Amino acid sequence: MLQPEADISLGRLIKNYQFIQSQICSAKVMAVVKADAYGHGAVPVAKSLSKAGIHGFCVALVSEIRELIDSGIQKPILHLGRISSDELDIYETDQIRCTINSAEDIKLLEDYGHQKSIRIMAHLKIDTGMGRLGIRYEEIDSMLVKLSESQHIEAEGVYSHFATAEEKDTKYRDWQLKRFKEVIAKTKTTLPQVEYFHMANSAAVLTCSEAHFNMVRPGISLYGVTPLGKPHDHLLPVMRMKAPVTIIKDFSSGESVGYNRQYMTDQNEKIAILQVGYADGIPVEFSNRGEVEIEGKIYPIVGKVSMDLVAILCRDLKITAGQEAIFWGSDDINLRLETLAGKFEKTIYEFLTGVTKRVKRHYIHE
C-alpha cells in the first residue's frame, strides 16, 4: 500500500505504563489521552491501558470524553478543560469527573445537580503558578468553603500543574510544589473527604518523586518519549512513523529536485521519492536537513518537503520501490524524537500530534 503509515506498538505502550507505575509505588495513574492520545489513537490506547489495569484517563474536550464512552471505556475520565453550560449532561454519570476552575463553575454545577437530583464528581484545579486554568492560589480558602457547603458536588480530587518540570533549574518547580502542599493541608482540614491529590506530569513523574502524592498524570512518557531533552533508557517509542519508496530516479549533475530548486545535484545521483509529506505530519524543517532510515541505513532528505512527497539521496546504496523509510521511532538515537526536537527546535508534542488522519495507524499487539 503506497501511503504513509504509523506503526503503534501497544506492547511498548504497556511496558512504558508498567515502568511508570513502578516509579510511583501505589499512586494511581490517570493517563493523558487528549489530542487522540498524542496522535497514537485514543480508543486503542485507552482500551489497551484499561486491560493493563490503569486507573483512568484525562482528556481536554467533551468530544474526547464522548469518543471514549462510545468505544466502551469504563474507567474514570477526568475532563481537564473548562465546564460548558451546554454540555453538563456529560457529568451525569459517576464515570466522568469535571474540573472546577472558578466560583462560577461551582454555582453552575450546584444548580444543575439540584435540577437533576444528582451529585457531580469533580476535581478542583489550583493555579499554583502555571498561569492558565485553575483558581488562583489566593482563593483556595473561599473555594474550599464553597465546596464544603455544596449539596450536589462530590469533590474527589484536588490538582495543579507544573510550568517548568522539565527544566534543570528546579527553583520554580519547587516553589509551585510548596504551594500545592499548602493547598493539600488546607483541603484535608476543610474537605477531608477528598481522596486524590495530583500534580505530576511526565517530567515530574521521572524527576520529582516528592510530587507523586497518590495520583499522577503522565502523557508523553506513556508514548515512550520524554520532555527532558534526551531518550530515557526505560521508555520505548510507541510510534514508528514511516513511508514507502515509490520510485527511484537517475539524476544528472546540475539538475534540481523539488519545489523552488532547493537541492541541486553536483554529480550523477540516484534519488528515491517517498509517498509522504507535510500533509501527513512531516515537518517542512526536514527539507535538506532531515534523515530517514531504510533497512538500518541512514539516508539524507534532499530538496523541499512537499505536501505529498519527500526525496532522499540514495548515494551508492541500493533501494527498491516498496521499501519503508522510517522518519522517527527507530532504535537509532538520531531518529528519536528527543533528538529531532532539539535539532529542529520543535517540541516533541508537535511531531506526534501533527501526524494527520491520512496516515494509516497500524496497531501491533505484542
Amino acid of residue 208:
C
Q: How far apart are the first and last CA of the chain?
A: 23
* Known active-site residue 34: yes
**Residues 68, 108, 159, 202, CA torsion sign:** positive
Copy the grid coordinates of residue 12.
Answer: 511498548
Q: Say how far apart CA 123 and CA 110 lie, in whole Å.
A: 14
Amino acid of residue 39:
G
Catalytic residue among 34, 125, 242, 304: 34
CB 43 within 8 A of CB 228: no
CB 143 within 8 A of CB 110: no
Q: Is 241 exposed, middle or buried (0-12, 13-18, 19+ CB in 10 A)?
A: buried
Tell which residue, 3, 35, 5, has the closest CA to residue 328. 5
Q: Is 91 exposed, middle or buried (0-12, 13-18, 19+ CB in 10 A)?
A: buried
Amino acid of residue 149:
E
Total residue count of the chain as it appears in this document: 366
Catalytic residue among 259, 297, 318, 360: 259
Range 67-76, long-range pairs (CB < 8 A, 24+ positions): 67/42, 67/43, 68/33, 68/42, 68/43, 69/95, 71/43, 71/46, 71/47, 72/47, 73/43, 73/46, 73/47, 74/50, 75/46, 75/50, 76/30
Q: Say how far apart CA 54 and CA 31 lie, in whole Å.
A: 8
- Report which DSSP code applies to 234: T
Q: Which residues are catalytic?
A: 34, 259
